[in-house]
Structures are given as C-alpha cells and as structure tokens.
Amino acid sequence: MSKEKSLFRQSVVFGSYIILILWLVKAAEWGFATNFAHFGIMPRHLLGTIGIFTSPFIHGDFLHLLSNSFSLMLLIIILFFFYDKIALKALLYIYIVTGVFVWIIAREAYHIGASGVIYGIASFILFSGLLRKNQSSLALSFVVLLLYGGMFYGVLPQDGHISWESHLMGLLSGLLVALWMKNDFAGQAELKLYFEKDWDEEEFEDDGEHYNFTNPDHQFLYEYKELKKTEDNEDKKD
C-alpha cells in the first residue's frame, strides 16, 4: 500500500471514530429519553466550563447532528491527510481554544454542537495555506474557501437559536492556531497534490498529436455532494 493510500485510510478511520462517538452520544440521549444540553457551554458559569470539553459531542436533534457530521468528516480527512504531522495537535488546540472563547464571550445559554470545531478546522486550513505560501497549500486553501466560503455569513449575529458566537470563535481560533503553529510547518513536508506529480517521459505515449497517460495508477476521481444546514433548535446550536 502506498504512503498516500495508507495516510488517507488512517484519516478516514480517525474521522469515522469521531463521528461514531457523536452518534453514540445522540443515541444514548434518545434511548434514555433525556437531554444532554446541560453539558453544553454555559458562558461565565463555573459549572459551564465542562462544556468546553463536552459541547462538541452534543447536538440538538438528528438533523443538526447529520449536518455537522458530513462537514466534520470531510475536514478531518483533509486536515489529517495534508497536515498529518501536526494535525492532531492543531485539532486539540482548536477544540480547546474555541470552547474557552465561547465560554468567555457568548450569550448566557447552553451552546452545543460541533460547528465551532468545524469552523476552526476550516479556518486553520485556509490560513495555513496563506502562511505557507507554496502552491499546493494555497490550492488547498482555495478548495476549502470554495466549499466553506459561506461560513463567513455564519459568524454574523442571526437567529436566536443559532450559536453564531461558536462560529465566530471557531474562525478566530483556527486563525490563531495557524499563526501559533507557523513554526511547526517546518517539520511538515510540503503538500503534494496529485496534479503536481512530476511525470516521467516513459509514462506518456505520443501518438503524434496528443500525449496519453499509460500508467493506470495516476488518476483520481471527484465527488461532490451539496449539504444542507439545519438551524432550528431550542438550545444554541452551532
């Protein structure tokens, strides 16, 4: 198995474990007919600090969870595949810093959901590419911007049931962590996207008019699915 395939597999497995935990928490909540919202972040309350660690795993309803699951899974795969050497450290920093900021500045209500972390990862990838300034990192930043450009709208005050503060703090945390870990990029190999591969002449056939690829391993596929965002819930869902 090539290094890229192994790394991609590890990224998918790690992301799957995280998503599984989210769904197990929701299943337990549903199975015991209870509500875990009180384990969310309650800003400026001492007991509310527990939510810094637990709130990303709690969601208002299954639609809220489903919406966040797709985005979180995709971003974790991108983060751990392209920034494998620093991904876990970056994720932990984003996770903690986002929660602390929400506890400090958000409205007094229970803030739940993984969107703060989602915004943080997207922000980290976006600004890390701008800081590294190599072509592949910038290309990855551009892809994230295309997929999640609408996140900038999500940081604006809006529906009372939406924790826009979590979105804003996640965006800010991703930027700060990217700046904070700037020196760690030196230990991270330069990102190599498949279209940057240096092709050998023997991998091409010249029919006199066009060059044709003869190596079946050098190919890649695209798949795109449009996601919908759920907004309504009695708690502040992010």
The domains of the chain are located at: 3-191+219-237
Instruction: Return the residue matching tokens 């990224």.
Output: 11
Q: For residue 213, what is the DSSP state?
A: E
Could you tell me the pLDDT band of residue 213, with boundaries at 50, 70 and 90? very low
pLDDT computed for residue 82 by the predictor? 92
pLDDT digits (tens, 9 = 90+) for 217-235: 444 343 434 444 444 444 6
Contact 40, 49 (CB under 8 A): no
Dist. CA 117–CA 115, nearest whole Å = 5
| For residue 192, pLDDT beyond 80 | no
Query: Does the pLDDT of residue 162 top 50, yes or no?
Result: yes
3-state helix, strand, coil in the chain (%, to 5): 65, 5, 30
Per-residue confidence (pLDDT) for residue 100, from 0 to 100: 98
Percent of the chain with pLDDT over 70: 76
* Lookup result for tokens 């709130």: 55
Residue 204, strand partner residues = 213
Q: What percent of the chain has pLDDT over 90?
A: 61
Nearest to 74 by CA among 23, 111, 125: 125
Q: Which residue has the higher pLDDT, 145 or 100?
A: 100
Q: Is there a contact between 97 and 52 (Cβ–Cβ < 8 Å)?
A: no
> What is the token pair recorded at 33?
């007919």
Q: Supply the mean pLDDT for the chain.
A: 83
Question: pTM (2 decimals)?
Answer: 0.78
* The architecture CATH gives domain 3-191+219-237: Up-down Bundle (1.20)
Question: Does residue 198 register a pLDDT over 50?
Answer: no
